[in-house]
Amino acid sequence: MQVKLLGQVNYLDTYQAMQEFTAQRQPDTPDALWLCQHPPVFTQGLAGLAGHVLNAGDIPVIPTNRGGQVTYHGPGQVMAYPMINLQRAGYFVKEYVYRLEEAVIRTLAHFGITGHRVASAPGIYVRLADPFAHTALTGPVTPGALFKGLGKISALGIKVSRQSTYHGLALNVKMDLEPFGRINPCGHVGLQSVDLFTMGVDASWEEVADVLGHKLHQLLAP
């Protein structure tokens, strides 16, 4: 896997570059992982409903071909875009998503934070009251319960074309969280978005990107 640290780059340019990479890749093309951050932008998934954008203001809303609903990207957030040949890797989409989430969980653990999965709600969540607790979630946690006591720290949205992946995941490090209040994040009314800083971890973007990149490199291997 070829890992590239791109720094801050325009979202639309990066989206188009991922599409071009995937369209032009050959069976022997090495997999790639791009790590970057974007200027403020809302991105809308294929299933996205316009009503989940409450007040975009001066932040552009860009339609995409990834799965999922609307989310926000901005400075201080690590974007990870793995472009994996799933046929060559030897696992299917469900396993791929599990590995993406596991990489985030292990990255958070590196900084002492416990990440949680929520059934039927892709991404990773943390306990707002005690993000350092290791106890597993108990009882059903459903979108209907408005994720009571949880905050979303990582969003996930992917596309698979020609058995190859693009788009990926976002991990909030230290960012302006206000724009999340202008949308229903990932289509969930009232869902709170958090970052590592508000959860008590003051780590640099570069440090988190490095850890996440290593975890993804390990976990996405065949």
d(CA 154, CA 215): 15
What are the CB-based long-range contacts (under 8 Å, 24+) for 26-31?
27/85, 27/88, 29/85, 30/1, 30/2, 31/1, 31/2, 31/82, 31/83, 31/84, 31/85, 31/88, 31/89, 31/220
d(CA 180, CA 182): 5
d(CA 142, CA 134): 20
The reported pTM is 0.94
Active site residues: 186
Label each residue of 178-196 as H, E or C: HHHHHECHHHCCCCEECCC
Determine the structural domain holding residue 21 and report its residue range.
Answer: 2-219
pLDDT in tens, the chain (222 residues): 999 999 999 999 999 999 999 999 999 999 999 999 999 999 999 988 889 999 999 999 999 999 989 999 999 999 999 999 999 999 999 999 999 999 999 999 999 999 999 887 899 999 999 898 888 776 555 555 657 789 999 999 999 998 999 999 999 999 999 999 999 888 888 889 999 999 999 999 999 999 999 999 999 999
Q: How many domains does the chain contain in total? A: 1
Q: What is the token pair recorded at 172? A: 């909030």
Tell me, what CATH number does 115's domain have? 3.30.930.10
